[in-house]
Chains A and B, each alone.
Chain A
Amino acid sequence: MVNDSTIALRNLVFNYPGSERPVLDGINAVIKNGEFLAVVGPNGSGKSTLARLICGLLRPSQGQVLVEGLCTVDPRNRIEIRKRVGLVLQNPDNQIVAVRVEEDAAFGPENLNLPSKEIHYRVNHALEQVGLIHLKDRPPQLLSGGEKQRLAIAGLLALRPSFLVLDEPTSMLDPLGRRGVLDVLRGLSGEGMSVVLITHNMDEATAADRVWVLRDGKLAADGTPGSIFSDPVMIRNLELDLPWVTRLANALAGYGLNVPAGIVNTDDMVCFVCRLFKQPS
């Protein structure tokens, strides 16, 4: 029995037309409601394809994607799936449609034919969630890249989706823009939103509850950031970049200071070093 509040991938296979090798090759997994999932893996490992399959933009060659029990292959489910899964793309300029920030965020709910009071309420709330409420009368082209991505997220939030899928939303942003987007995602996740973040940046992945590593179309690893990034053999085999904290842990080991496995984010590492200095050794 499928749990109604998950996205279930069942023996998922995807081939692009005319290509022999499947991009995704037999993925079985479940994305739980309310979890913050990061998907990492080298170029060509199928990350972006997976994002498009999850939100029903692409249909599986074999197997199934079930969004809260709805199969993405069935055309009758398509509108319902669009409401439940929102997708943010890499390039912030490609997803802005209106001439004012507020109108842009309202585009989705307007198309749902909601009463204007409801639209107003949803848009204001969404813009507050992404920290853009003070810019609601601004033309979007005057926003920075990071602000545009947050606007794209607000436009989806106004649709009240169950899942937010983001395909490398920060790769074209400067570091402060990245941090702003990531802070918004962390905040949303804290409020119970399900977030699927496709990323090349391992430091972003350490912010998630769970990490999937894709490689050659297969799910090569699935675990907490701590278990994945603390495993040197896995890191080497999967040719992943290391998060900064893991690099620091490795360097410290070289100076005879051993950091316990599982420390992969900055706050934990700061705590560890503080304890190191305060405890009698």
Chain B
Amino acid sequence: MFCMPFVQTTKLTHIYFKGTPLETVALKDIDLEIPEGEFFALVGASGSGKSTLVQHFNGLLQPTSGRVSVFGDDISTRINRNSLWSKVGLVFQFPERQIFSSSVYEDIAFGPRNLGLDENEVKHRVETALKDVGLPAGILQIDPATLSGGISRRVAIAGILAMQTPALVLDEPGAGLDPQAKKQILLALKRLQLEKGTTIVLITHFLEDVVDFAGLVAVLKKGELIASGRPKQVLAQPELLLGAGLEPPFPVAFTRKLSSKGVRLNSSPVTIDDLARAIQRTYQNTGPGDR
């Protein structure tokens, strides 16, 4: 079946402060396609252009040169750009800092109310969004200022989910949270992708999360796209990742350490289970008989 991509960029270049002494090339000739319904991870070191790139996906930024189309519409037209905010939800880093209402309900309801929906529909959407992020309905009347970091983060994300946009872009939603809270958020996103077909674009520094959750991954380095494809292929290349300022997933780093000590595995494992299997297979193949 042919699917229209969520995002397609052609030779996308973005230059900040063009023509001034502060001129900075943030993105250079990016050709990228993100299929609809995909869980897509965008990785790269700090300052590699990840946040600049995703701000083109909902029309907050326009390319200096090149083309970006979102759901088939070119974002260089103002009308197309204005329609994007109801199609693409963007969750910035530390979104809980943008909570401003005095109750959880009011905060989540802010977006859908601005869509002009009637209060019944707003209430329905608030409840659904809260369930999607795995929080109990009892929390709705609480003052968000009293919630813990992980829970207020999920409330802030629920505020975007309540817009029910067909695509969601999240900039490091797990930053600063403990591992369990981060995992709960990623599981909630995965559920949205699988159950509702929502396209998810996840910016992250943590490549283990990419292995566990994403179907496709793209690597940015100093504004250039240096690799994209299936996580098991892209993330199995430690030199590429280290060159991009990223920490390879544990199994990849471990395999590299082994090979530096002269032990070569006969595959390039990216998950713990694959690593254990590769060690066992290599052990069998070079078993006592061979020595």
Contacts and interface: CB of A to CB of B under 8 A. Distances in A.
Contacts of B291: 280
B46 interface: yes
B247 A179 contact: yes
A43 B258 contact: no
B205 interface: yes
Given A172-B176, A248-B276, A270 B46 contact: no
Contacts of B280: 252, 255-257
A266 B246 contact: no
B110 interface: no
B195 interface: no
Interface in B255-277: 257-258, 261-263, 272-273, 275-277
B23 interface: no
B178 A200 contact: yes
Contact of A277 (B177, B272, B277, B286): B286
A201 B179 CA distance: 8
A43 B148 contact: yes
Interface in A140-174: 144-145, 171-172, 174
Interface residues of A, number: 33
Interface string B182-214: 000000000000000000000001110000000
Contacts of A174: 45-46, 205
Nearest to A247: B272
B282 A252 contact: no
What 9 A-B pairs are tightest by C-beta distance, nearest first? Answer: A251-B276, A175-B247, A255-B280, A174-B205, A244-B250, A200-B178, A172-B176, A252-B276, A270-B257
Interface in A247-281: 247-248, 251-252, 254-257, 266, 269-270, 273-274, 276-277, 280-281
Contacts of A200: 178-179
B138 interface: no
A49 to B, nearest CB: 14
A43 B175 CA distance: 16
Interface of B: 45-46, 148, 150, 175-181, 205-207, 245-247, 250-251, 253-254, 257-258, 261-263, 272-273, 275-277, 279-280, 282-283, 286-288, 291
Nearest to B183: A241
Contacts of B179: 200-201, 241
Contact of A280 (B175, B177, B254, B288): B288
A168 to B, nearest CB: 9
29 contacts: A43-B181, A145-B46, A171-B176, A171-B178, A172-B175, A174-B45, A174-B46, A175-B246, A176-B45, A176-B247, A247-B272, A248-B272, A248-B275, A248-B276, A251-B272, A252-B276, A255-B276, A255-B277, A255-B279, A257-B280, A257-B283, A266-B253, A270-B258, A273-B279, A274-B258, A274-B263, A280-B291, A281-B287, A281-B288
A227 interface: no
Contacts of A276: 279, 283
Contacts of A91: 176
Contacts of A273: 258, 263, 279
Given A43-B150, A43-B180, A254-B276, 13 more contacts: A42-B178, A171-B177, A175-B206, A175-B207, A179-B247, A200-B179, A248-B250, A248-B251, A256-B280, A273-B263, A274-B262, A276-B283, A280-B288
Contacts of A42: 178, 180
A95 interface: no
Contacts of B148: 43
A90 interface: yes
A222 to B, nearest CB: 21
Interface in A9-41: none
Contacts of B286: 277
Contacts of A280: 288, 291
Contacts of B275: 248, 251
B183 to A, nearest CB: 9
A172 B174 CA distance: 9
A274 B255 CA distance: 11
A266 B252 CA distance: 12
A269 B286 CA distance: 19
Given A248-B276, A257-B280, A90 B176 contact: yes
Contact of A266 (B206, B247, B257, B287): B257
A42 B179 CA distance: 10
A252 B278 CA distance: 10
